[in-house]
Amino acid sequence: MYKAKITREHRTAFIILCDRSGSMAEETRFGGQVMRKAEAVACIINMLLGELIHRSRRDDGIRDYFDIAVLGYSGSGVQPLLPAGDRERFIGIGDLVRLPAPVQQRRMLRTLPGGRRTAVEIGQRQWITPEANGDTPMCRALSAAAVLAGAWCALPRNRDSFPPIVLNITDGEASDATPQTLLAEAGSIKSVATRDGNVLLFNIHLAGSGTQTSAQCFPSNREELPCIRYADLLYDMSSELPACYDDLILASRPGACPPFRAVGYNCPVEELFAMLAIGTASSSFVI
C-alpha cells in the first residue's frame, strides 16, 4: 500500500480546502511577518502549487503528474478557486502552469543550514488571492472533497494510482456542523480509496498572532497536542500517516515514535511548508 509510482498515465490528486471565513481577517505570524490569516493561507497554497510545478518539471517540459482542485469555503459557500480543465473538475499541472497569474515579491524569513535566520525576497505566482468573509462551512467543504475524491478514484485510469491527498487549512471552528458530524465527514473522505490505499486527510491549523502555544507538527499521541481549542477534533479528523512518511518526519524529529497524525498546529513557515511538502511526498515516487 502507498507504493504506486506516479506517471503521466497514473497521476495522483491534491484537493486543497481553504478557510476564507470572516475570522481569517485576524492577524497571524507567518514567515517572520504579521499578516492576515487569509494572506497567509493564500501564500501557503501558492507556495504549494509552485512546488508541485517544480516537482513536475523535466528536461522535456512539465509532465502532468498531478490533478489539482482548490476549494474555498466562507459565507459565500464552497467555491472552486481554480478553473477545471478536462480532468473531471480538476486542473492538470500543465494547465495550471499556463494559467495567467501575477508574480508578487514576498519577503520571508528562512532558516539557513547553520540555524541562522535571514530575510529573503521570493517571487511568487498568485493563483489564489486572500479573502475573509462570513461563516465557516467546513462540513460542506469536507463533503465536497469527499465527492471529488470519490469521483477521481472511481475513474478506471486512476484505480491503481497513489490515492488523493486532501489538505484542509483552517483557523478553527466550523459554523455548519457539530464535532461529531465533522468527524463523520472526515471519515467519509478517509474511506475513499484506490487499490494503492485510502485518501490521506491533512488538517493545518493557523493560530492568531498572539498565541503563545508552541508549534506541533505530526503528533503521534494526544499527550503531544497543544492547549488550543479544537486540537483534539483536528487530531481525530486527520489521517494516520502510512509508514512511507516516517523517514521524512523522523529526519526533522529524531526519536519521535510513529505512527504520526497528518495534522499541524501553530507551525512556523519552515515547519508548515515542510509539512505540506511531506504531504506531497508521493512526488518522490514520480517516474
pLDDT value for 86 = 57
- Identify whether the C-beta of residue 67 lies closer than 8 Å to the C-beta of residue 152: yes
Q: What is the 3-state secondary structure (H, E, C) of the chain?
A: CCCCCECCCCCEEEEEEEECCHHHHCEEEECCEEEEHHHHHHHHHHHHHHHHHHHHEECCEECCCEEEEEEEEECCEEEECCCCCCCCCCEEHHHHHHCCCCEEEEEEEEECCCCCEEEEEEEEECCCCCCCCCCCCHHHHHHHHHHHHHHHHHCHHHCCCCCCEEEEEECCCCCCCCHHHHHHHHHHHHHCEECCEECEEEEEECCCCCCCCCCEECCCCHHHCCCCCCHHHHHHHCCECCHHHHHHHHHHCCCCCCCCECEEECCCHHHHHHHHHHHCHHHHHEC
pLDDT value for 252 = 78
Q: How far is CA 122 from the centre of its chain?
A: 21
pLDDT value for 44 = 87
Q: Which of 19-28, 190-199, 208-217, 248-257 has the lowest mean pLDDT?
A: 208-217
Domains assigned to the chain:
12-285 (3.40.50.410)
Give the model's confidence band at 213: pLDDT under 50 very low, under 70 low, under 90 confident, else very high: low
Average pLDDT over residues 112-127: 73
In terms of pTM, does the model score above 0.75? Answer: yes
Average pLDDT over residues 35-64: 89
Average pLDDT over residues 1-15: 91
Average pLDDT over residues 125-141: 95
